[in-house]
Amino acid sequence: MIAYKQLVYSVIITTAAACTACHEPGSRDRSQNMIKPTPTVFTDSNTLAIDRSPMDMIYFPVDYPKEKMADASLTDPLARVIYSRPQRNWRILFADSAVTQNFIQHYGHEWRLGANEATEIEFFKPASVSGKIIPAGRYILYCIPYPDKWKIIFNNNLFSWGLHMDQTKDIAAIDIPVSHNNPPAEYFTMQFQAATKGCHLIMQWGDIKAELPIAFN
């Protein structure tokens, strides 16, 4: 019996010493020799690639979807914007007509306020935008940028793509000032910010920032 206990004790000591040696400095970790599985990559020629300008959706009130999940009795939000977010990627954002390379948009020309499909805004009740009444409904937004201002245009030509605008369906145009030297944004960004009588639709790209005041009755 004593000999058996001595044998077991010897095996335990030997095993512990071996494990300790495996982790001593300079010792080689056996896991390095293990063949790691290669992740499976599924390819399908019919699957669309991820867009370089991802689509985003914003609401006012800002946390409306979360609030509705917590309280199903909530009525509709006040506003929603659907837009795509292009990346600056070292390019000049806006330039005069003398610039012909590595820029995104010339001053004084229509811009889709994003990328891909036309940017959409929806008001769920009548709104006043810089004093102009916009009925409840869905519209596309586009912009004519200038060095010191942006002209924001509401248009009824829904479900359009890019810059194929039908100006006969413009319903309102509002000039808003722009500021420069703001903290830079690599991706074009739109967000609502609460204000006294409604909100401001903030648009920022690079160091340029513009705010569209919106009031609700």
Tell me the pTM: 0.73
Is the pLDDT at 38 greater than 60? The verdict is no
Supply the pLDDT for residue 39.
52
Report d(CA 217, CA 215) in Å as an integer.
7
Q: Are 123 and 136 in contact (CB under 8 A)?
A: yes
Task: Break the chain into its structural domains and give their ranges.
Answer: 55-216
Supply the pLDDT for residue 124.
96
Greater confidence (139 vs 22) lies with 139
Per-residue pLDDT, averaged over 136-140, amounts to 96
Report d(CA 16, CA 6) in Å as an integer.
15
Element (H, E) at 213: strand 208-216
Determine whether 5 is exposed, middle or buried from the number of CB atoms within 10 Å of its CB (0-12, 13-18, 19+).
Answer: exposed
Supply the pLDDT for residue 72.
84
Taking CA 79 as the corner, what is the angle to CA 77 and CA 81, rounded to the nearest 5 degrees?
Answer: 125
Greater confidence (52 vs 45) lies with 52
Per-residue pLDDT, averaged over 40-61, amounts to 72
